[in-house]
Structure 1
């Protein structure tokens, strides 16, 4: 629940959600241009805005930004490790059964580009998720004629995620206090019990939530309050200047649309 509270307390919560969405989407589009320098700038820019302007603690942001690295590492492993690579092409090369395994310069270069692009896009998503309350985002999407059923699912899934995380944290703390993770065997046993309980509780909570909604007159659409935001010409000009500069840097330092 800490992250949800930070979203409602951050320094950019009063900025029009449309401005933040425009900035994030345009910057993400620029991030798709294959240019590692521009991707690095996007990562640093988003971190500076989130931490300095948004007021999100650096420790929390760094923890969040490092979370996707585990999935990213597993994704780029097949790119870095090449089967059948010759010794001349490989930086590291050794035989493996009837073939060879090597780490080539081309594979490392491609993995570096993909990693930088992925982290740049993730930082844009974090900008939206850490500075824009979910109700403001849903109200904005509703004005853009996004189907109501999708918005209801977004809101319910968002709520359920925090409920599950809060429950998992409490169960883990209780298990850890009883030495449930003192060794590998007990850790597997405790983690299995935790996951099985979370799955059954999630289904049970979803049924109770739907029953509660119906009992309160749910007619297929969740009503959310629409805050009275106004577009700022100054903010739009700043967004245009930043994204134009990023676009020019991306093209001038070797990026292309090929």
Structure 2
């Protein structure tokens, strides 16, 4: 509004009751400060909370993908470590170490499996804390955004074309975050299957089994426990919004 000629607000259609006429001094200055402050406050809080949620869930996703990569190559890393013990051949038992080949390999696997299991549990715990903190806020946000989108569609896209992309982006961003976390959990589950567990000793097999059972529980973020944030949820929300919009529009146009 500062770059446009004349006096303008962030949205000239919005009225502040008690300050009419809004374009006259000093009502214009007071209204401009109030509307500008409200925009900064609302956008600042929403942006920071959204950024925090994106960063934390992105950290969980990156950790899960890194653990998946480490788990997939765990046995190869154990063999590489065995070669690094300066034995002439990996298939021979050397006098350099009292342990045989299988013991050396499985000792390496045991240590790293424990680290992977610990990191996996920490990521699950962190995601649970994030969901417990934001599930109510996300549920309220979804309800308000759905109502806003329906109202914007009823108001006509020619009048609300600037508001509709913002609401859709907010819903889509949350669903994208949830889907990425779910995909990372699925990748980790596949990595447990692909870690060559059949070559482990019985102790490490049991550890891998426990790790698999934990990995089979999907890592999700929900909106108040009502719906899981994912692409499926996003399409369901869009479908519900359009169905409600068409119903209300037909009702509004009835004589």
TM-score normalised by structure 1 residue count: 0.24
Tell which has more relative contact order, 1 or 2 (C-alpha 8 A, sep 6+): 1
TM-score normalised by structure 2 residue count: 0.24
Which is strand-richer, 1 or 2?
Answer: 1
